Structure 1
Amino acid sequence: MLDANLKTQLKAYLEKVTQPFEIVASLDDGDKSKELLGLLQDIVGLTDKITLKTDGNDARRPSFSLNRPGADISLRFAGIPMGHEFTSLVLALLQVGGHPSKLEADKIEQIKAIEGEYNFETYFSLSCQNCPDVVQALNLMAVLNPNIRHVAIDGALFQDEVEKREVMAVPSLYLNGELFGQGRMDVDQILAKLDTNSSARDAEKLNAKEAFDVLVVGGGPAGAAAAIYAARKGIRTGVAAERFGGQVLDTMAIENFISVKETEGPKLARALEEHTKEYDVDIMNLQRAAKLIPASEAGKLHEVEFASGATLKAKTIILATGARWREMNVPGEQEYRNKGVAYCPHCDGPLFKGKRVAVIGGGNSGVEAAIDLAGIVSHVTLIEYDSQLRADEVLQRKLRSLPNVNVITSALTSEVKGDGKKVTGLTYKDRNSDEFHSVELEGIFVQIGLLPNSEWLKGSVELSPRGEIVVDAKGQTSLPGVFAAGDVTTVPYKQIVIAMGEGSKASLAAFDHLIRTSAPA
């Protein structure tokens, strides 16, 4: 099951296991059970700390649990955790085997203190880059607290279960049989939902912080670069972000990041956070900016208010709040979001195996999505507003070679249709004839570009007609001491490498501003 190179790497990891435990597999006569058995046999063959039993009686087959004698741990994988979930498996093996987590001590204590009964189920797909965060967070919580149980379920392998529960987006989390959440969630976000008082406590801590020399709002590539450059100057630096990594977390393959031939968004996001933590940077997650209060002549400190109720002060601010997926804004879109309307083909595509889907958008993202989905679904209809596709010619050639793809241009999507529970089709208007047409399908993947996260800045800094923050060559906004960088600005070409350069430049400009404004007359 595992190749020689992977076995060598896994063997080195398993040397960190300090406490013996057992894997208990529930199998049947199917090919997937044989495949899982091969994987588990490879694992136990690499260490004498893990034993394998095949007499499990779980209803989901194939599946397996990780059990440590003398410890009440309920942690199970239903399916074969390869692809993006292989890292989740390795971490689970280490943590059940006694290897300590890198999670902050106060978070560990907060998890251990949770009382009650929490039975979590997470539906994932092996191609989903967002799912491992959820699986790994809940696995760790199950290891730390016996009140928390978790089973991670491969939705593509348990299709009957997925259809019965009408799961149409991953990751989907269920708690005690009820939907708990959908989309990427880490330990902090899950704790915030379980411990409703935690956000208020965190807000109090933030309100008590001293003013920063540089406060970066946003934790994507631009924000991380800005924080690192500021911290290297030896000045007090903070990063307040809704989620560290930003839009990169939702990016699959990255092949144009100079000097790195290829990587994946979540992997790059982890590297950005680890690099930032190498410096004296105060990282504050789960903080969504709500208002910018410019410095007055008396105070000379800018302030940022957050949705949590916290307020942070700083001498200079770097705005790096990035962008988000643009929505169609048509009837039915919000009603059927995660019920057939999706924005991540890599994550949710496997849930539509053998079904009919549409892709909205004919740029590179839309055409790439159509190409990927064509290998999974029965048929793809690509709908483009313009009279021609805007994607690179090499992508268009590949698209035209696929027999199960239909392209419709000069089309305006006007409505998402559904039966109250899930998507059943869409309506579009032919822009040449003004006639309306209907397409029957089960899924719609929206790929029509990005919107800047700048609504909260209206009235405080100058914005372009498209909502982007207007900046000069140094990243300076219309407010002295407030800078901006990345996809939220007017700088053209929204690319990771450009965002990093702009973040670094804005940070250097902020430092220059600090020197000049603090110099004696």
Structure 2
Amino acid sequence: MLDDTIKAQLSAYLERLVEPIELVVSPDASDVSRQMSALLAEIAALSPKVSVREDGAAERRPSFSVGRPGESHRIHFAGLPMGHEFTSLVLALLQASGYPPKVDAALIERIKAIPGKFIFETFVSLSCHNCPDVVQALNLMAVLNPGVTHTMVDGALFQKEVEARQIMAVPVVYLNGEEFGHGRMSLEEIVAKLDTGAGQRAAAEIAAKAPFDVLVVGGGPAGAAAAIYAARKGIRTGVVAERFGGQVLDTLAIENFISVKYTEGPRLAAALEAHVRDYGVDIMNAQRVVELVPGERLHELRLESGATLKAKTVILATGARWRELKVPGEAEYKAKGVCFCPHCDGPLFKGKRVAVIGGGNSGVEAAIDLAGIVAHVTLLEFDGKLRADAVLQQKLASLPNVTVIVSAQTTEVIGDGQKVTGLVYTDRTTNESHHLELEGIFVQIGLLPNTDWLKGTVALNRFGEIEIDARGATSVPGVFAAGDCTTVPYKQIVIAMGEGAKASLSAFDHMIRHGT
């Protein structure tokens, strides 16, 4: 199962085990079960602190649990945790043994103090790069709080259960049998949903903070670069973000980040956060800013929680989000057939018919990826021709189960009240309306800047992008901006990082020149 390189790396990790760990297997007669047993045997062979036994007691098979011998196991894997979930398994082994997690001590105490019994189930696909964060967060909660149990369920392996629950997007989390949430969720967000008083306490802590020299709004590549450059000047620096990493967290393969041949979004986001924390930057995660109030000496940022932050200079690096179709039925069937991540949700549509909306690079790449999983892909493009690179169009044309329709305007998403059953589009050349029967729709039509909350405060162009000059300055003195939320062309990670650094240097220069 594991090559020699991975075995060597895993062996080094297992040396960190604090207490013995037992893996308890509930097998069946499937190939996956045999692979699972082989994997666990290989892991056990790498450390004398790991043992494996079978008992067949679990309802879902094949599956296995992780815990200490003689104790009730609270972490379960229903499926083979390979691909993106292999890291989840490694962390579960370490943390269940008593190895300390890299989590803020205050957050750990909050998790331990949550009362009640919580049975979590997370349905994932092994190709989903958003799923491991949720799995790892809930596994850690199960380690820290004896009232919490968690099971990772590979949706592709347990298709009957997926169909019965009508799961059409991952990750999706169930708590005590009821849907708890779907999509990427951080540990802080999960805890906040369980601990109802946590939001008020966090807001009070934030409101009590002293003014910052530089306060960055957004934790993507631009925001991280801005924070690092500010902190290196020895000035008081803070970052307030809904989720550190931003849109990078939703990016799979990154092959154009100079000097790094290949990486993946979540890995890069983790590296960015670690680098920022190395400089002692005050990171306020899972916080939404709703208003900027400019001032002569101090600018004020008002948060959704009711807290207020103040700073001498502000750097807006709020990034962008997926553009939606804005047609009837789209909102109703989001995560019920309407999806935005083909890598995450594609495996759930195995053998089914889907549509991809958008003929740019992202749309064509999505269609190519999905064609290897689903029965048929229909790609709809609003323009009269595809806009993707020629090499991608050539690959798309070679696939027998892909139909391309151009000059097509999607006008409605159709469903049966529970899930998507089709869509309606208009042929823009004939003005005729057509209906497509299908089970999934993947929207790939570009990005929108996250600047709605800034309207009327800083100058925006007609696309909603923040207008900046060559130094990253906005129309408000002392307020700067960087990255995908601005008018700078070419929305790329490497460009966003450079713009973030530039905005930070400009903010520092502003403070020097204006004596703030």
TM-score clears 0.5: yes
TM-fit CA distance, 1:69? 3.0
TM-fit CA distance, 1:70? 5.0
Whether the 8 Å contact between 1:73 and 1:143 is mirrored in structure 2 is no
Match of 2:304 among 307, 318, 332: 307
User: For residue 449 of structure 1, what is the aligned residue in structure 2?
Assistant: 446
User: For residue 250 of structure 1, what is the aligned residue in structure 2?
Assistant: 250
Whether the 8 Å contact between 2:23 and 2:67 is mirrored in structure 1 is yes
User: For residue 229 of structure 2, what is the aligned residue in structure 1?
Assistant: 229
TM-fit CA distance, 1:21? 2.1
Whether the 8 Å contact between 1:227 and 1:507 is mirrored in structure 2 is yes
RMSD across aligned positions (CA):
0.8
Q: Which residue type is aligned with residue 114 of structure 1?
A: I
User: For residue 38 of structure 2, what is the aligned residue in structure 1?
Assistant: 38
Q: Which residue type is aligned with residue 110 of structure 2?
A: Q
TM-fit CA distance, 1:97? 1.5
User: For residue 2 of structure 2, what is the aligned residue in structure 1?
Assistant: 2
Whether the 8 Å contact between 1:73 and 1:146 is mirrored in structure 2 is no
Q: Which runs of 4+ in 1 moved over 6 A?
A: none
User: For residue 78 of structure 1, what is the aligned residue in structure 2?
Assistant: 78
Give the Cα–Cα distance (whole angstroms) in 1 for the partners of residues 130 and 198 of structure 2. 24
Give the Cα–Cα distance (whole angstroms) in 1 for the partners of residues 284 and 22 of structure 2. 38
Give the alignment's TM-score, normalised by structure 2: 0.99
Q: Which residue type is aligned with residue 80 of structure 1?
A: L
Give the alignment's TM-score, normalised by structure 1: 0.98
User: For residue 67 of structure 1, what is the aligned residue in structure 2?
Assistant: 67
Q: Which runs of 5+ in 1 are unaligned?
A: none
Whether the 8 Å contact between 2:67 and 2:97 is mirrored in structure 1 is no
Give the Cα–Cα distance (whole angstroms) in 2 for the partners of residues 272 and 416 of structure 1. 38
Whether the 8 Å contact between 2:130 and 2:183 is mirrored in structure 1 is yes
TM-fit CA distance, 1:18? 1.7
TM-fit CA distance, 1:104? 1.2
User: For residue 102 of structure 1, what is the aligned residue in structure 2?
Assistant: 102
User: For residue 138 of structure 1, what is the aligned residue in structure 2?
Assistant: 138
Match of 1:337 among 334, 339, 345: 334
Question: In terms of mean alpha carbon deviation, does 308-317 or 54-63 score higher?
Answer: 54-63
- Deviation string, structure 1 residues 24-53 (Cα, Å, up to 9, x no partner): 000011111111111011010101101110
Overall identity of the aligned pairs, in %: 69
TM-fit CA distance, 1:287? 1.0
Q: Does 1:421 align with 2:418?
A: yes
User: For residue 518 of structure 1, what is the aligned residue in structure 2?
Assistant: 515
Q: Does 1:483 align with 2:480?
A: yes
Q: Which residue type is aligned with residue 340 of structure 1?
A: G
User: For residue 466 of structure 2, what is the aligned residue in structure 1?
Assistant: 469
Match of 1:356 among 353, 359, 362: 353
Give the Cα–Cα distance (whole angstroms) in 1 for the partners of residues 100 and 240 of structure 2. 27
SS at match of 1:163: helix
Give the Cα–Cα distance (whole angstroms) in 2 for the partners of residues 440 and 357 of structure 1. 9
TM-fit CA distance, 1:71? 4.1
SS at match of 2:139: helix
TM-fit CA distance, 1:356? 0.3
Q: Which residue type is aligned with residue 51 of structure 1?
A: S
TM-fit CA distance, 1:56? 2.6
- Deviation string, structure 1 residues 225-278 (Cα, Å, up to 9, x no partner): 000000000001000000000000000110110100011000000000000011
TM-fit CA distance, 1:309? 0.9
Give the Cα–Cα distance (whole angstroms) in 2 for the partners of residues 72 and 163 of structure 1. 30
Equivalences for residues 288-437 of structure 1 within 5 A: 288-296=288-296, 300-437=297-434
Q: Which residue type is aligned with residue 273 of structure 1?
A: E
User: For residue 162 of structure 2, what is the aligned residue in structure 1?
Assistant: 162
SS at match of 1:338: coil
User: For residue 502 of structure 1, what is the aligned residue in structure 2?
Assistant: 499
SS at match of 2:230: helix
Q: Which residue type is aligned with residue 89 of structure 1?
A: L
User: For residue 282 of structure 2, what is the aligned residue in structure 1?
Assistant: 282
Q: Which residue type is aligned with residue 511 of structure 1?
A: F
Q: Which residue type is aligned with residue 384 of structure 2?
A: S
TM-fit CA distance, 1:340? 0.1
Give the Cα–Cα distance (whole angstroms) in 1 for the partners of residues 458 and 70 of structure 2. 59
User: For residue 437 of structure 2, what is the aligned residue in structure 1?
Assistant: 440
Whether the 8 Å contact between 2:347 and 2:373 is mirrored in structure 1 is yes
- Deviation string, structure 1 residues 453-505 (Cα, Å, up to 9, x no partner): 00000111000011000000000000000000000000000000000000000
Whether the 8 Å contact between 2:221 and 2:497 is mirrored in structure 1 is yes
TM-fit CA distance, 1:289? 1.0
Q: Which runs of 5+ in 2 are unaligned?
A: none
- Deviation string, structure 1 residues 126-181 (Cα, Å, up to 9, x no partner): 00010000000000100111100100000011000000001111000000000000
User: For residue 188 of structure 2, what is the aligned residue in structure 1?
Assistant: 188
SS at match of 1:349: helix
Give the Cα–Cα distance (whole angstroms) in 2 for the partners of residues 156 and 406 of structure 1. 25
SS at match of 1:224: helix
Q: Does 1:147 align with 2:147?
A: yes
Give the Cα–Cα distance (whole angstroms) in 2 for the partners of residues 116 and 69 of structure 1. 24
